[in-house]
């Protein structure tokens, strides 16, 4: 196995060096693909500097902030071109702890896609505010009800994919970007019948740097769920019930 992890970054200079060091402590053979969108705080330059010392770090530079989804895709395509497997994704802000990477890689022996999950026994969140927890729970319930997703944590960005899973999905056809990309990827995996596993993680709120989640991103995610539901050819249950009431 030649595992790779794709890490999208936008203004993560406070986190990147420590994150890479910790990742290699737990998983020395891991190739770390940093996809930076010309971060104003110099995260891209920092990734280049680290890469000169560390051959297991591969920076990808994009000209401007183009969103989480296309950043994941850019990193995945590079890892595929290098015959790496499994291909993981995670955030740069330590919300996804490097100590779980070995668990995700191990579970890929049994499953085709593995989610680092807050919502299975043993999983949870730490230092997250109540509104943040409610938003995550709400988005998950909405996605599960509307799309019939089986996974418990549908919005998690901490995942491992077998190569065949990514090959089976036309990555360029995934139109949603930002956070809704994560829901759409999971939808495409479940639709194709790939086995989805979840390993428990404790998700910690970011300690350094600033959040990039905007109200617009949240609305886009809701919009994506509705679009996927309509594309699947079934009407939302709520819509049917509403119509039945005189």
Ligand X SMILES: Nc1nc2c(ncn2[C@@H]2O[C@H](COP(=O)(O)OP(=O)(O)OP(=O)(O)O)[C@@H](O)[C@H]2O)c(=O)[nH]1
Residues forming contacts to Mg ion in the complex (CB under 5 A) are: 91, 93, 95, 206
Distance CA 86, CA 173 (A): 22
Instruction: Output the smallest distance, CB 48 to Mg ion, in A.
Output: 23
Q: Which partner from the list Mg ion, ligand X, none does 153 bind, CB cut-off 5 to 8 Å by kind?
A: none
Do residues 79 and 167 make contact, with C-beta atoms less than 8 angstroms apart?
Answer: no
Kind of pairing between the strands at 113-117 and 196-200: parallel
Residue 153 lies near ligand X (rule: CB under 6 A): no
Residue 155 lies near ligand X (rule: CB under 6 A): no
Kind of pairing between the strands at 57-61 and 31-36: parallel
Do residues 101 and 167 make contact, with C-beta atoms less than 8 angstroms apart?
Answer: no
Cα 97–Cα 99–Cα 103 angle in degrees, nearest 5: 110
Residue 12 lies near ligand X (rule: CB under 6 A): yes
Among 27, 31, 95, 113, binds ligand X (CB under 6 A): 95
Residues 36-75 within binding reach of ligand X (CB under 6 A):
36-37, 65-68, 71
Q: Which partner from the list ligand X, Mg ion, none does 198 bind, CB cut-off 5 to 8 Å by kind?
A: none
**Strand order through the sheet with 4-9:** 57-61, 31-36, 4-9, 87-89, 159-161, 113-117, 196-200
Distance CA 224, CA 181 (A): 8
How many chain residues touch ligand X (CB under 6 A)? 20
Instruction: Output the smallest distance, CB 67 to ligand X, in A.
Output: 4
- Tell me the per-residue interface mask from 68 to 87 with ligand X, x by CB under 6 A, - otherwise: x--x----------------
Which residues of this chain interact with ligand X, rule CB under 6 A? Answer: 8-10, 12, 35-37, 65-68, 71, 91-93, 95, 206, 211-213
């Amino acid at each position: 196995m030649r595992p790779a992890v794709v890490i999208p970054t936008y203004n993560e200079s406070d986190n990147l060096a420590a994150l890479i060091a910790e990742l290699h402590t737990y998983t020395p053979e891991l190739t770390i693909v940093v996809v930076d969108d010309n971060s104003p705080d110099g995260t891209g330059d920092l990734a280049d500097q680290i890469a000169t010392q560390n051959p297991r770090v591969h920076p990808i530079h994009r000209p401007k902030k183009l969103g989480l989804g296309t950043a994941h895709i850019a990193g995945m395509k590079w890892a595929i071109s290098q015959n790496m497997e499994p291909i993981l994704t995670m955030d740069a802000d330590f919300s996804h702890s490097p100590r779980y990477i070995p668990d995700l890689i191990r579970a890929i022996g049994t499953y085709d896609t593995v989610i680092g999950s807050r919502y299975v026994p043993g999983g949870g969140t730490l230092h997250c505010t109540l509104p943040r927890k409610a938003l995550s729970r709400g988005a998950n319930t909405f996605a599960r009800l509307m799309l019939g997703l089986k996974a418990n944590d549908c919005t998690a960005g901490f995942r491992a994919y077998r190569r065949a899973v990514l090959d089976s999905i036309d990555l360029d056809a995934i139109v949603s970007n930002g956070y809704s990309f994560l829901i759409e990827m999971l939808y495409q995996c479940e639709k194709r019948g790939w086995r989805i596993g979840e390993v428990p993680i404790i998700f910690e709120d970011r300690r350094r740097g600033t959040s990039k989640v905007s109200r617009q991103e949240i609305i886009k995610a809701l919009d994506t769920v509705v679009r996927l539901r309509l594309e699947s050819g079934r009407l939302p249950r709520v819509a049917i019930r509403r119509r039945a009431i005189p």
